[in-house]
Structure 1
Amino acid sequence: MNQETATPEVQLGTRIQNFSVQLSPTPRGARLARLLATEQLRSWGLPMDPAAHIVAELAANAAMHSRVPGRDFRVTHYVVGGTLRIEVSNTRGDRLPQLEHPLPHAESGRGFVLVDALADRWGTALGPYPRKTVWAECHVGPPAERCRAEEP
């Protein structure tokens, strides 16, 4: 596992905090992504929910649907101002996420429905080939600005 942590930077008067780690595309790698995200958010003094759930869903999708033998996936978190951005990059740019509502009895297919419900915004970015990045953003400023999932 290659882990890169960067000390906070100051850019245009805004404090930037970031964390990035490369993990194997396995269930164990997805679990580790969630655990590392939780610990990093704790060390930054940020709320763990709903960010830990978003990381869990995006990492599980990278491990399950975007697995290519010998190619890892990368999880990156950074905070700029009052926004936490979560990115999960993998080497399956040919498989873009779909926001589909599964049948009530289906055993899977709810990942992006959950991400859509928990994040303020989410999307995908392609490149460089064959990479894709799925990202989600949550406000982590004052409680009134936090993600919808934390609202009463």
Structure 2
Amino acid sequence: MPATETFRIPKRREHAPTARQRIRKALANWGITGELADSVVLLANELVTNAVTHCRVSYAQVEVRLTLQEPELVLEVLDPDRDRLPRIHDSGPDAENGRGLALVEVLADAWGHRQEPYAKCVWARLTLAEGMARVPAGS
């Protein structure tokens, strides 16, 4: 049975650190630390930042789901702006932003998005090395 951490944050940039902290704590509880945990937290930061920055729905919440079902770890970030789909931009060397999804593409084994009835979900999947994580009993 998979282990899952799901939570919501207000669609405001100042809540992105809360998402990073919750993700890091869940990963530590599952025995995922070090470089892999850093990569997942960075992925979460990019996807959450994109959601809070680009979602055009006022007073929205962003949902974050992290699921461990060996051998995969899946991060999903949902926001209610279901018709505004993400795309990678070709940012110039002097651009101050626009590289988040390019970073996601490099860090994740796969990533994508889907439209749900009332939200869009942007997801990233990582394949774990055998025995890298432990799913706690009761998860």
Same fold (TM over 0.5): yes
Cα pair 1:25 1:67 within 8 Å, conserved? no
In the alignment, the residues of structure 1 paired with residue 28 and residue 95 of structure 2 have an alpha-carbon distance, to the nearest angstrom, of 34
SS in 2 for 1:141: coil
Unaligned runs of 5+ in 1: 1-9, 11-15, 145-152
RMSD: 1.6
CA distance in 1, matches of 2:46, 2:131: 24
Corresponding pairs, count: 129
Q: Could you give the per-residue CA deviations for residues 48-95 of structure 1, whole angstroms, max 9, x where no partner exists? A: 121000000000011111142222010000011110000000011121
1:120 maps to amino acid: D
Q: Deviations over 1:92-132 (max 9, x none)?
A: 11211111220000000000000000000000010113x10
1:51-66 matched pairs, under 5 angstroms: 51-66=40-55
In the alignment, is residue 119 of structure 1 matched against residue 108 of structure 2? yes
Q: With structure 1 as the length reference, what TM-score do the two structures score?
A: 0.80
**Identity, % of aligned pairs?**
32
Tell me the SS of whatever aligns to 1:50: helix
TM-score by length of 2: 0.87
Matches within 5 A, 1:1-152: 10=1, 16-47=2-33, 48-129=37-118, 131-142=119-130
Gaps of 5+ in 2: 133-139
Please give the secondary structure, in 2, of the residue aligned with 1:115.
helix
